[in-house]
Chain A
Amino acid sequence: MSNSPKTLFDKVWDSHVVRQIADGPDVFFIDRHFIHEVTSPVAFLGLEQRGLGVLFPEKTFATADHNTPTINQHLPVEDPLSANQLLQLEKNTSKYGISHWGLGNPKNGIVHVVGPENGITLPGMTIVCGDSHTSTHGAFGAIAFGIGTSEVEMVLSSQCIMQPKPIKMRINVNGQLGKGVTPKDVALYIISKLSTSGATGYFVEYAGDVFENMSMEGRMTVCNLSIEMGARGGMIAPDQTTFDYINGRELAPKGADWDKQLTYWKTLKTDSGSVFDKEITFLASDIEPMITYGTNPGMGMGISRNIPQAKDLEGGASSYAKSLDYMGFEENDSMIGKKVDYVFIGSCTNGRIEDFRAFASIVKGRKKADHVTAWVVPGSHVVEAQIHEEGIFDILTEAGFALRQPGCSACLAMNDDKIPAGKYAVSTSNRNFEGRQGPGSRTLLASPLVAAAAAITGVVTDPRQFL
């Protein structure tokens, strides 16, 4: 044991290195592997072609979420290609003895929602999934990141992947967040400052008062969006908030095992004097409710501001013009008052109970604007049940909103939940890329509060006027 100070990231990474290859990557051991129907079939096919088995089936967990419908889930899935992917997931998991929470299972939901809510995600773990938003699980002090299908095959066959160790960045946000400023706004603010590639090559630790005072749901939202600034992942040191969230969850450790694990988890923090390759500090008071105006998540700003001019941005003026042209916006435009056609609340970014509580806090006692189509999609059946238990369902119904069934839905529009070409959607999801929510769709990323305000007024609206 070396006495030199270590970061949280180093502690977790170093304890999972099986072998270091000179002038090459680390052979990196994976504790938890999540799979879903879209990025796993070719990996299972690869196993078959090579005649390999699954080394530790009990360390892999499957759920169906990416292409599943969000209405009438009791009926057969109409799209034959989606139905086939779901069938393959069922067959593959059954063949190799892997846990599978498919469509209709009460534990089904978005992979990054169901992992934590069932106690599968724990501090100090290494977690991967063929999905870039796997960074979500970093909220628990785990190293979690997205992988490609070749790597899914590696984890299935050997429980390891081969990864060069990323360099380290710490992002501090200090002070107290203002009224109506949510974890989503904190993340969109950071991304707008760093750009979509500003953290590429880094693994991020989030620190400071703002994250210490944040709920687990909020921390998950922040870590989820780490990939949108290019970081492989982001993590937050586990603390009492983390332990309280985990305690009692179905697959979480119990009894003596809990005590033993808790002792270890309490060591998972960055030692004072640790050095990061880069460190950035922001002030909470500089952050207001955010909204994006362009075609990548770095193109965001405080909702009261005007769209920046290309001359004020570094490089890429032609890409910037292309982006605004796609969105139908002009430099200097105010976003407030822009017409909204669709509102989407859900996804692995903002599909947890706290997000629906926030949404309901604004729509309560008000009515949805007639011209707005709203898709309200819980992240899991557990979240759906909470929405009913807490009376949020009644508030939504009263205000003219229907609740759909869990899944990734309009975030990536693999199912029928597609925003039509040219239409504007305020979305609580994570990507505003061209066509992300359907061919030709135009996405404005925002928090559940901004989404709620837009759903009520039918235009982009500062939510603070309703609070």
Chain B
Amino acid sequence: MAYDSFKVLRSSAVPLPIENVDTDQIIPARFLKATERKGFGDNLFRDWRYDKNDQAKSDFILNNPTYSGKILVGGKNFGSGSSREHAAWAIYDYGFRCVVSSFFADIFRGNSINVGILPVQVSPEFLHQIFTAMEKNPKAELEVSLPEQTITIVSTGASESFEINGYKKNNLLNGFDDIDYLQSMKGEIATFALNR
């Protein structure tokens, strides 16, 4: 078990209405030098969050005490660029368990699930509704139900369903991961390799 299981998450959220947020912004390359998966949350969005003297930039959302929560809501094409899983580690280590966007980059989406973060892809219209709700009330809560595959804006009751394949859903619900699965079929893999 590599991470906590995910079932229903009800939380306020942090809005980041920027498109094409790439993994170099999520965690710049100079912070990829650790050899253990620890402390990456401190450098999440490092160069948007801190100035060159390491002082917090007051206009960046993570430095705004009005917004907090376990859900990060980003603009279209979230997580593009580098395959660094450190981006997902940083988001998880900071305390987020779910990222919502109208579109995710492939590798980031896969990495997220592999570390226990649920990526929820919604329509552009629903994303807009979420941002609007959060503008009105920074403490507006979202409810993400993995068993039901739905996301709801609690204050308005607006809801949308999201996709996830049955295998990955089962993994997240139970805290299983792919390595457990692959270990269970090692004999089959060895036979496959022999016959190639």
Contacts and interface: CB of A to CB of B under 8 A. Distances in A.
Interface of A: 18-19, 21-25, 27, 29, 38-39, 41-42, 45-46, 50, 52, 55-56, 66-67, 79, 81-82, 84-85, 88, 130-132, 146-151, 153-154, 157-164, 166, 196-197, 200-201, 227, 230, 232, 296, 315-316, 318-319, 322, 412-414, 421, 431, 433-436, 439-440
6 contacts: A29-B192, A50-B179, A130-B83, A148-B114, A414-B33, A435-B25
Contact of B83 (A39, A67, A84, A440): A39
A433 B25 contact: yes
Contacts of A18: 185, 188-189, 192
A201 B105 CA distance: 8
A197 B32 contact: no
Contact of A84 (B35, B47, B107): B35
A131 B29 CA distance: 12
B81 interface: yes
Interface in B137-196: 165-168, 177-179, 181-183, 185-186, 188-190, 192-193, 196
Nearest to B190: A55
B18 A319 contact: yes
Nearest to B38: A42
Nearest to A92: B35
Contact of A296 (B22, B52, B166): B22
A41 B52 CA distance: 29
Given A23-B166, A50-B179, 12 more contacts: A39-B32, A154-B178, A158-B179, A161-B178, A164-B165, A196-B80, A200-B105, A230-B105, A296-B80, A319-B19, A433-B24, A435-B25
A327 to B, nearest CB: 14
A197 B189 contact: no
Nearest to B182: A158
A421 B185 contact: no
Contacts of B167: 21, 23-25, 162
Contacts of A157: 179, 182-183
B72 interface: no
A153 B179 contact: yes
A200 B35 contact: no
B111 interface: yes
A148 B81 contact: no
Nearest to B78: A197
Contact of B179 (A25, A154, A230, A232): A154
A19 B188 contact: yes
Chain A interface helix/strand/loop/mixed: loop
Given A23-B167, A440-B52, A413 B29 contact: yes
A423 to B, nearest CB: 14
A81 B34 contact: yes
Interface string B9-48: 0000000011110101100111011111100000000010
B100 interface: no
Contacts of B104: 200
Interface residues of B, number: 57
A193 to B, nearest CB: 16
A85 B35 contact: yes
B64 interface: no
Given A24-B168, A232-B106, A42 B77 contact: no
Interface string B61-91: 0000000000000011100111111101000
A130 to B, nearest CB: 6
B115 interface: yes
Contacts of A440: 47, 52
A322 B48 CA distance: 12
B165 A148 contact: no
A16 B35 CA distance: 31
Contacts of A50: 179
B6 interface: no
A347 to B, nearest CB: 13
Contacts of B32: 38-39, 66, 414
A88 B76 CA distance: 37
Contacts of B107: 132, 146-148, 227, 232
Nearest to B115: A150
Contact of A132 (B20, B83, B103, B165): B83
B52 A82 contact: no
Given A85-B35, A196-B20, A230 B182 contact: no
Given A45-B35, A162-B182, A148 B111 contact: yes
Of listed A22, A55, A413, A435, residue having the most chain B CB within 10 A: A435
Given A132-B83, A151-B114, A421-B52, A160 B189 contact: yes
Contacts of B188: 18-19
A25 B24 CA distance: 28
Contacts of B28: 435, 439
B47 A146 contact: no
Contacts of A166: 106
B26 to A, nearest CB: 11
A150 B114 contact: yes
B158 to A, nearest CB: 22
A56 B76 CA distance: 39
A28 to B, nearest CB: 11
**Top 8 A-B residue pairs of the complex, sorted by shortest distance between their CB atoms:** A24-B167, A23-B166, A148-B85, A81-B33, A146-B83, A148-B111, A41-B35, A150-B114
B186 A316 contact: no
B20 A319 contact: yes
Contact of A196 (B30, B77, B114, B177): B77
A200 B107 CA distance: 10
